[in-house]
Amino acid sequence: MKKVIIIGATSGIGRELVKLYAKSGALVGATGRRGDLLYTLQLEYPNNVLTECFDVTSQENIAHLELLITKMNGVDLLLYNAGYGEPSDKLDWEIDRKTVNTNVNGFLTLVNYMFNYFEHQGYGHIAATSSIASIRGSSRAPAYSASKAFMSTYMEGLYIKAKKRNVSGNAEKKIVITDIQPGFVRTKMANGYGKFWVAPVKKAASQIFTAIEHKKWRVYITHRWWLIAKLMKWMPEFIYIRIG
């Protein structure tokens, strides 16, 4: 039975992924701060879902993760999907602080721990939901785009580190890294931004599930956001400054 932990699984993309993994027969460890929403997931899939209620920004985040791994008797895949972001038109300190605490500090603490855990175990898979917003700075949400760039660049570093490590190892026992970059997905998170090509949550989750299971290194969700990613990356500054 595959063992999967999803950090940030109470709503939106993460909740849908819990359902997909549970339906596929995996044992899923679901986390988030809203205990009532975790409880309803467990009620829906009593044989496949275990939960751990915690805040990724708390000092006890690693202790909670360890407790969940113990309850599940191990883990093969961890998806860091928790995220926070709001438009910060007036450059709000609270928004910026919360964004960095969740998307950088929480991410770094848990993913760093898991890479070393998998190194010790000999194999494992880490995935993280960054964003298309990681590609260029955003004047509407500067901390959000910067935090997602941190995630994405860190994942690239881990991807190369894992590749180098895997070369000398057993072909069956590898550490796999997946960076997931969604465009817009119809969740609370997408509120307030100038939106287009907004994907339904089920479609986004299904594409993420397939990409993870195919052990893709980087994936754009939905796939056509690949085009926007390339356009954003190579767009000259004098044009980008009008839209960024």
DSSP state letters, 64-125: HHHHHHHHHT--SEEEE--------TT--HHHHHHHHIIIIIIHHHHHHHHHHHHHHHT-EE
- What is the rounded CA–CA span in Å between residue 173 and residue 243? 45
Q: Residue 75 or 104: which CB sits closer to ligand NAP?
A: 104
Q: Which stretch binds ligand NAP (CB under 6 A): 66-74, 114-122, 170-178, 181-189?
A: 181-189
Closest CA to 131 of 220, 198, 211: 220
Total chain residues near ligand NAP (CB under 6 A): 28
Q: Per rule CB under 6 A, is residue 129 in the interface with ligand NAP? A: yes
DSSP category for residue 236: -
> How far lies 56's CA from each of 2, 61, 108, 195, in Å?
24, 5, 10, 28
Q: Are 7 and 128 in contact (CB under 8 A)?
A: no
The interface with ligand NAP within residues 32-51 (CB under 6 A) comprises: 32-34
- Least Cβ distance, residue 53 to ligand NAP (angstroms): 8
Residue 123 structure tokens: 């194999």
User: DSSP code of 199?
Assistant: B
Which residue from 17, 18, 49, 56 is in contact with ligand NAP, where contact means CB under 6 A?
A: 56
**Residue 97 interacts with ligand NAP (CB under 6 A): yes or no:** no
Residue 36 or 172: the one with the smaller Cβ distance to ligand NAP is 36
C-alpha to C-alpha distance for 221 and 210, rounded to whole angstroms: 11
Rounded to a whole number of angstroms, the minimum distance from the CB of residue 203 to ligand NAP is 12
Q: Report, in Å, the least distance between residue 57 CB and ligand NAP.
A: 5
Among 18-26, 66-74, 186-194, 235-243, which window interacts with ligand NAP (CB under 6 A)? 186-194
Cis previous bond, 187, omega within 30: no
Query: Per the structure block, which two tokens stand in for 38?
Result: 């975790």
In the range 202-231, which residues lie near ligand NAP by CB under 6 A? none
Decide: is 84 part of the binding site for ligand NAP (CB under 6 A): yes
| Of 84 and 159, CB closest to ligand NAP | 84
Residue 81 binds ligand NAP (CB under 6 A) = yes
| 140 lies in the binding site for ligand NAP (CB under 6 A) | no
29 near ligand NAP, judged by CB under 6 A: no
Query: H-helix or E-strand containing 96?
Result: helix 93-100
Query: Which residues of this chain interact with ligand NAP, rule CB under 6 A?
Result: 8-14, 32-34, 55-57, 81-85, 102, 129, 131, 182, 184-185, 187-190
